[in-house]
Chain A
Amino acid sequence: GQQVQQSPASLVLQEGENAELQCNFSTSLNSMQWFYQRPGGSLVSLFYNPSGTKQSGRLTSTTVIKERRSSLHISSSQTTDSGTYLCAMLMDSNYQLIWGSGTKLIIKP
């Protein structure tokens, strides 16, 4: 079965609202990462966050290992935040990433 469940599949917000994206893992979490992909664009790493909370500007990532989940919070969303956000879990091999299905975020002006 799918090891990484990402939700919601899509999210539409008004500019200025906050966004909360979730990833749940069915196996023990080695470490996890968040990526951003603009339509037609390449993947850009946002966070490498094996545990705890990390913040970068308006983005905050929180990983709770024992609960096998990770979240990405975007505060005061902007239209430029629109795109697809993907989480990925690092397997024990230490180089293979297992990917979530992505959250398509649309921020309306």
Chain B
Amino acid sequence: NAGVIQTPRHKVTGKGQEATLWCEPISGHSAVFWYRQTIVQGLEFLTYFRNQAPIDDSGMPKERFSAQMPNQSHSTLKIQSTQPQDSAVYLCASSTTGPSAETLYFGSGTRLTVL
């Protein structure tokens, strides 16, 4: 079990460029979460999929952020026209049924730096 895999580990983009972040959840996990972590804001919920269906994207900045889960083996978070304030560590987590600690597993994150 390789755990939740996130790629790339680090990404640097110029202002206005697009960034795509990838997450491979643990096989068999039906729930996938995306979070964003910054020093100032801490951890913020972005979006949640269950059985590949989007359940809640209330934490996503609507204009430039989008997330998809085309199949059960990966999810993507796309940020269009990146801005410096998008710089953060983006964390993906997967779970069997919900976010209880026994079943919630986090990836190592993608550190996005927007210059």
Contact = CB atoms under 8 A, between A and B. Distances in A.
B18 interface: no
Contacts of A102: 42
B25 interface: no
Nearest to A41: B108
A45 interface: yes
Nearest to A34: B101
Interface residues of A, number: 25
Contact of A45 (B33, B44, B101): B101
Contacts of B3: 42
Interface of B: 3-4, 31, 33, 42-45, 48, 55-56, 91, 93, 98-102, 104-109
A95 B42 contact: no
Given A93-B56, A94-B98, A102-B42, 8 more contacts: A33-B101, A45-B104, A48-B101, A48-B102, A95-B33, A95-B55, A96-B99, A101-B42
Contacts, number: 56
A46 interface: yes
Given A43-B91, A86-B43, A102-B42, A97 B106 contact: no
Contacts of A96: 45, 48, 56, 99
Interface in A50-103: 86, 88, 90, 93-97, 99-102
A99 B101 contact: no
Contacts of A43: 91, 93, 106
Nearest to A99: B43
B37 to A, nearest CB: 9
Interface of A: 31, 33-35, 40-48, 86, 88, 90, 93-97, 99-102
Given A33-B100, A48-B100, A97 B91 contact: no
A99 B59 CA distance: 14
B98 A95 contact: yes
30 contacts: A33-B99, A40-B108, A41-B108, A42-B3, A42-B4, A42-B106, A42-B109, A43-B91, A43-B93, A45-B102, A45-B104, A46-B101, A47-B101, A48-B101, A88-B43, A90-B99, A90-B100, A95-B31, A95-B33, A95-B55, A95-B98, A95-B99, A96-B48, A96-B56, A96-B99, A97-B45, A99-B43, A99-B44, A100-B42, A101-B42
